[in-house]
Amino acid sequence: MILRLLALALLTAPALADTPFDWGFSEGLTPVRTGREASGADCIGCHEDQAERWQHSRHRAAHDNPIYQSGLVDEPSPFCVHCHAPLPEQSAEVLANLRHYVARDPSRGLQPRPRLPEPLAAEGVNCVACHVRDGQILATNADTAEWAPHGITATPALSDGSLCEGCHDFHMPIFEGGSWILTDEIMQGTTSEWRAWRAAGGTERCVDCHMPAGDHAFRGAYDLDFVRGAVAVTRDGRTLTLTSTGVGHALPTGDLFRNLTVDARVDGRWSTVHRIGRTFEEVQDPLTLAWSKHEVADTSLQPGEPRAVALPESAARWRIRMHYGSDADEHRERLTDAELYADLWQGEL
Ligand code: HEC
Ligand code: HEC
Ligand code: HEC
Ligand code: HEC
Ligand code: HEC
């Protein structure tokens, strides 16, 4: 009997080793527990190189950037806070303030009432959110454990995409029966898109493109040179062709409002000729009266895909613009132009 149990244990051991690392994410339903205090301030003091780059990342700015703050005013929900200020102490700071986030007149911009300070939330997605679980400091390997002043738990999963998946792949929530539940509708599908690209022959991991040489700035859509380097734009007469050459997921991916437009200038006025991105409509459930968003179109550019766009005969100029917010955001004076969009390419005809 004991021998059979031993044999069983030996047989199941390799299977256990293959079990994916559990990062403890919940698609925004709960905060992320790490077993350690929330602030990354002491990590920053000793790891200056990573810290300096992280200071310039969207991860650092995940809670206090204006476009997210504007979204939180429209939808002041714990769901958002559990990813943008993900640790329990960070979320608690923001949740204590949530009722002060209400926009009394959405057309007149942000009008937050007095709030408590949010020093921990201001760290956004910090060192602890990615590098600490069960109170242990995680690194891809434990090579430096001998001289590090703290323990190191070798965790190759740090760079296999599963960590990113915890926040970069999730479903839409609805408030039903007194609590938040997830629907089948995808809100962000970056990791699924990337897995599909890998299955079709793509080779790079998220960290190969977004953390070259361990760069903690996580360059993305706000780094225009980074975007330009991954898309080929050619013009033949009045036909522009955009080809996604260096993106391992849809372009754009991520936030549901992110989109690119190809615009033409005719008679001194700019108008959009083609839009690249997802489109959603808001639907109200007749029984529960709950509102939810449904995807009605997806014109995102898939990896390797060329997209030809015909410009009007009378156009004098063209441009390709990255939009960070929604059309509604651009029609009210809450955010500045620089926060809302940036021009990637432009030319005369
Ligand atoms: C008192 C200084 C100090 C503090 C505080 C500290 N570290 Fe370290 N850490 C080190 C040193 C020294 C090493 C050894 C490798 C090196 O020299 O970079 C190390 C190693 C590491 C490694 C592995 C590096 C590698 O190249 O293998 C990681 C990851 C890490 N620390 C993350 C953190 C995080 C996250 C925190 C905060 C929760 C933190 N450290 C706090 C000094 C510190
Ligand atoms: C499961 C994690 C998660 C939840 C929940 C979540 N977000 Fe995000 N959010 C992200 C990630 C990851 C990105 C980065 C993707 C990108 O830049 O397109 C992001 C990007 C954004 C952006 C774009 C920011 C920018 O810099 O352009 C806005 C605005 C935003 N989220 C608002 C919200 C609001 C409002 C909610 C709640 C209704 C919410 N998010 C819920 C993970 C989450
Ligand atoms: C969004 C998640 C994320 C955040 C935030 C983050 N890191 Fe990292 N860090 C990683 C990943 C992933 C790697 C491994 C990179 C690779 O494989 O090339 C890494 C690598 C490292 C390493 C080298 C050791 C190793 O595992 O390769 C150190 C040291 C480190 N991070 C420290 C920090 C410090 C200090 C902070 C805060 C200032 C921080 N990190 C913030 C994800 C993160
Ligand atoms: C704890 C949640 C969390 C984890 C884990 C996480 N991210 Fe993020 N990430 C975010 C949020 C939230 C934002 C958007 C911040 C904003 O602009 O509001 C973001 C922004 C980014 C951006 C910049 C997007 C842009 O629009 O320019 C990149 C690139 C990125 N993450 C890559 C990664 C990669 C690669 C990993 C895994 C190594 C990872 N992230 C892990 C939450 C996370
Ligand atoms: C082959 C390189 C490559 C790989 C692999 C890759 N990315 Fe990207 N990613 C890019 C480039 C280039 C951009 C800038 C173009 C753009 O805005 O989509 C980008 C943009 C982003 C953005 C900003 C949203 C947007 O599209 O505007 C996020 C968030 C992001 N990546 C997360 C990830 C995550 C998470 C993974 C892994 C699951 C990953 N990326 C894998 C190259 C890559």
* Ligand 5 pocket mutation pick from 249, 260, 300 by most atoms within 8 angstroms of CB: 249
Cα dihedral across residues 61, 66, 71, 72: positive or negative: positive
Nearest 5 degrees, angle CA 30-CA 32-CA 35?
130
Does the beta carbon of 322 lie inside 6 Å of ligand 4?
A: no
Structure tokens at 288: 């529960």
Q: How far apart are CA 87 and CA 54, in angstroms?
A: 17
288 contact partners, CB below 8 Å, separation of at least 6: 176
Token pair 């969207």 in the structure block, residue? 58
Ligand 5 geometric centre to CA of 226 (Å):
10
Q: Which of 6-20, 148-162, 172-186 is least confident?
A: 6-20
Q: What's the average model confidence in pLDDT over 276-299?
A: 91
CA separation (Å) from 43 to 38, 128, 209? 11, 8, 24
d(CA 154, CA 147): 15
Of 104, 114, 101, 126, give the one whose Cα is nearest residue 44: 126
Amino acid identity of residue 317, one-letter, is: R
8 Å CB contact between 230 and 245: yes
Which among 59, 63, 68, 175 is the best mutation to test ligand 2's pocket, defined by most ligand atoms within 8 Å of the CB?
Answer: 68
**Cis link prior to 303 (omega < 30° from 0)?**
no
Pocket of ligand 1 (CB under 6 A): 40, 42-43, 46-47, 127-128, 131-132, 137, 139, 143-144, 147-150, 152
Instruction: Tell which residue, 280, 294, 285, has the closest CA to residue 327.
Output: 280
* Contact in structure between 43 and 127 (CB atoms under 8 Å): yes
In the predicted model, is pLDDT for residue 13 greater than 80? no
Share of the chain above pLDDT 70, in %: 92
Task: Note if the bond before 252 is cis, omega within 30 degrees.
Answer: yes
Q: How far apart are CA 176 and CA 342, in angstroms?
A: 38
Given a contact cutoff of 8 angstroms between Cβ atoms, the answer to whether 308 and 239 are in contact is yes
Q: Measure the CA angle with vertex 23, ends 17 and 27; round to 5°.
A: 135
Say what the pLDDT of residue 76 is. Answer: 87
Query: Lowest-pLDDT range, 127-141, 164-178, 222-236?
Result: 164-178
pLDDT value at position 17?
55
Please give the average per-residue pLDDT across 121-128, as a whole number: 98
68 with 81: CB under 8 angstroms?
A: no
- Estimate to the nearest angstrom the gap between the alpha carbon of 259 and the chain centroid: 14
Task: Locate 168 and state its tokens.
Answer: 């970069």
Taking the C-alpha atoms of residue 117 and residue 7, their distance in angstroms, rounded to an integer, is 58
Q: Say whether pLDDT at 6 is over 70.
A: no
To which residue do tokens 């293959």 refer? 18
Residues in CB range of 94: below 8 A, 6 or more apart: 63, 81, 85, 118, 121
| pLDDT of 135 over the 60 cut | yes
- pLDDT for 109 equals 55
Measured at the CA of 328, the angle between CA 68 and CA 189, to 5 degrees, comes to: 55
Give pLDDT, residue 1: 40
Tens digit of each residue's pLDDT (9 = 90 or more) over 196-250 = 999 999 999 999 999 999 999 999 999 999 999 999 999 999 999 999 999 999 9
Tokens at residue 259, please? 């989109």
Mean pLDDT, range 112-131, rounded to an integer: 91
Q: Ligand 4: distance of its center to the CA of 125 in Å? A: 8
Asked whether 184 and 170 are in contact (CB, 8 A), the reply is no
